[in-house]
Structure 1
Amino acid sequence: MSRGNDVEAAVRQVAPQEVVLGFFGLCVFGQGATARETDPSVPTRALLSVLGRLDISETATRTTLNRMVHRGLLTRHKHGRTSAFELTPEVRTLLAQGRNRLFSAAPFDHDPGIWTVLSCPIPEALRNVRYQLQTRLTWAGFGSVQPHLWIAPGRVDVEAMLQDLLTGEARHLAQAFHGTPTAPSDPGELVHRAWDLTALRAAHDAFLDRWEHAEPPPGDALPQLLLLIDDWGRLLRSDPGLPAAYLDDDWPAARSAQTFSHLRGRLGPTAEKEIDQLLH
């Protein structure tokens, strides 16, 4: 890749768990939200091979896999002397919910003028639910305007996002609305309160510096696609797609989306072939 230093920085910063989840996402869903007929079991050797190509050591990979099993993210199955892994149903659902935006042609576009408002106070007794809620809200594009109150641009399907998380009596903790702001609310002020626009621009600039002029070398499609998806996912978790009325005219979101789409088109077909070879 022409920007060798940038790619090396990406390798240093990448979290093995995120790479594993990204690889499982490609194995189960490909580059979309439609799953294969049956979820594949991914052999340990395949994961060691893929992460090793990103300079993640065998020890670090095995430690990551053990932790993910302990945390309920993966299940482990024995095949003779070797092991294979599958996503747990909860993590599979979470990955599926993010696929449409991850591979959308317009991930920063929403219904103009429409916002989703969510109130969801989680008691201390449900601390684990609170953590999972925060993770899902971040991915869905919500920003916090005050304790237990979040807003997101566009129409977010809150029921689909939370139906497996808030069950029983906890289901009634969430109150969600779709609508438009009205006086005395100042949407611009709320945007600046809920999101750090300087940090969002810096996130786009970092993504573009690393990938806009990148030239992936032949034979390195799968690890580079995993790095690209990891960087892209982080950017989407940072920028929910805020209305242009509250952003600078040169806001870089469109360039970032075009860059991701272009590189994914170049890397995707070869990476899919590599995955098929690793799983069979």
Structure 2
Amino acid sequence: MEKVFNTRSMIFTLYGDYISHYGNVIWIGSLIRLLKEFGHNEQSVRAAISRMNKQGWVQSEKKGNKSYYSLTDRGRARMDEASKRIYKLESKAWDGIWRMLIYTIPEEKRHLRDELRQELIWSGFGLLSTSCWITPNPMEQQIHDLINKYDVASYVTFFQAKYEGMSDHHSLVNKCWDLDEINARYTQFIEEYSQEYKLDKQKIANGDMSDGSCFVKRSLLVHQYRKFLFIDPSLPKELLPGKWIGDAAADLFTDYYHILEKPATRFFESVFEN
């Protein structure tokens, strides 16, 4: 099939959805075979996993003449956080507290500032003003991990605070996040996958869909839905608009995922070499 997504990104998806549940280790040969289903060749897989190794996401181990790759502690932490957000069932009630992070990272450490900014966006923080980020979610541990990871404690100030105005919480949310745009993206996801879900559900019930096709469909579904981690701050219900499409999109994702799960797992297990 035609290559749809970049190799590195698909490897992350496979680790999060499969490999991390099978001992977190995979032989490069199995990884190459799995990625072939998406149109990725051996050269691109080896290049991507080598980059991920250098970036600290995976680590390699030789057993005889075979190379095996596993997630590092950093990689596992990222996958665990992503899984919690992708497969969450219900948001906890909001405690009414805003978490506020402010940094003053000097220009000569601009690369750290840029990396920290991307991490904050991924973690669901919103930009209130220049270098001032907020979230209603209890992110204390993640923030301390980030500060230690980038060694920026001397440049960062972190608060827990209550909002006292001058308007209301929803106005503050709208200033930091474009929920209308996120809603539009969720609507697009539903429009794209709702009919496909109905067709595939019938095919699977009739035995007209191969395990390999289910594996590809499930992986691409997770891969697409995972993109919302970069735009949806996972706000508590108390701060969401009345017409929030995210819940309907989550229900569709969950239903579609479950009908593909068993045949997709069978295919993975047929390729995976322990």
User: Where does residue 191 of structure 1 map in the other structure?
Assistant: 173
Alignment equivalent of 2:216, drawn from 215, 219, 223: 223
User: Where does residue 156 of structure 1 map in the other structure?
Assistant: 138
User: Where does residue 279 of structure 1 map in the other structure?
Assistant: 273
Kept in 2, the 8 Å contact 1:116–1:179? The answer is yes
Are 1:147 and 2:140 counterparts? no
User: Where does residue 170 of structure 1 map in the other structure?
Assistant: 152
Q: Which structure would you say has the larger Rg?
A: 2
Query: CA separation of 1:158/1:124 partners in 2, compared to 1, >3 Å: closer, same or farther?
Result: farther
User: Where does residue 16 of structure 2 map in the other structure?
Assistant: 25
Report the TM-score, using the length of structure 1 for normalisation: 0.79
Tell me the amino acid that sits aligned with residue 269 of structure 1.
Answer: K
User: Where does residue 207 of structure 1 map in the other structure?
Assistant: 189
Between the aligned partners of 1:29 and 1:74, the Cα distance in structure 2 is: 12
Are 1:233 and 2:216 counterparts? no
Q: Deviations over 1:138-185 (max 9, x none)?
A: 2221111112211223x3222234326426973354333344421225
Name the SS for the 1:279 alignment partner: coil
Aligned residues: 262
Root-mean-square deviation (CA, aligned residues, Å) is: 2.9
Report the TM-score, using the length of structure 2 for normalisation: 0.81
User: Where does residue 101 of structure 2 map in the other structure?
Assistant: 118
Tell me the amino acid that sits aligned with residue 20 of structure 1.
Answer: I
Between the aligned partners of 2:141 and 2:104, the Cα distance in structure 1 is: 16
Kept in 2, the 8 Å contact 1:105–1:261? The answer is no
Percent identical pairs in the alignment equals 22
Are 1:102 and 2:93 counterparts? no
Name the SS for the 1:86 alignment partner: strand
User: Where does residue 73 of structure 2 map in the other structure?
Assistant: 89
Name the SS for the 2:134 alignment partner: strand
The alpha carbon displacement at 1:42 in A equals 0.9
Between the aligned partners of 1:223 and 1:81, the Cα distance in structure 2 is: 29
Alignment equivalent of 2:246, drawn from 239, 245, 253: 253
User: Where does residue 4 of structure 1 map in the other structure?
Assistant: none
Are 1:262 and 2:255 counterparts? yes
Name the SS for the 1:55 alignment partner: coil
The alpha carbon displacement at 1:258 in A equals 0.4
User: Where does residue 182 of structure 1 map in the other structure?
Assistant: 164
Gaps of 5+ in 1: 1-6, 31-35
Between the aligned partners of 1:186 and 1:248, the Cα distance in structure 2 is: 13
Between the aligned partners of 2:189 and 2:24, the Cα distance in structure 1 is: 31
Kept in 2, the 8 Å contact 1:118–1:175? The answer is yes
Between the aligned partners of 1:95 and 1:58, the Cα distance in structure 2 is: 24
Query: CA separation of 1:167/1:19 partners in 2, compared to 1, >3 Å: closer, same or farther?
Result: closer
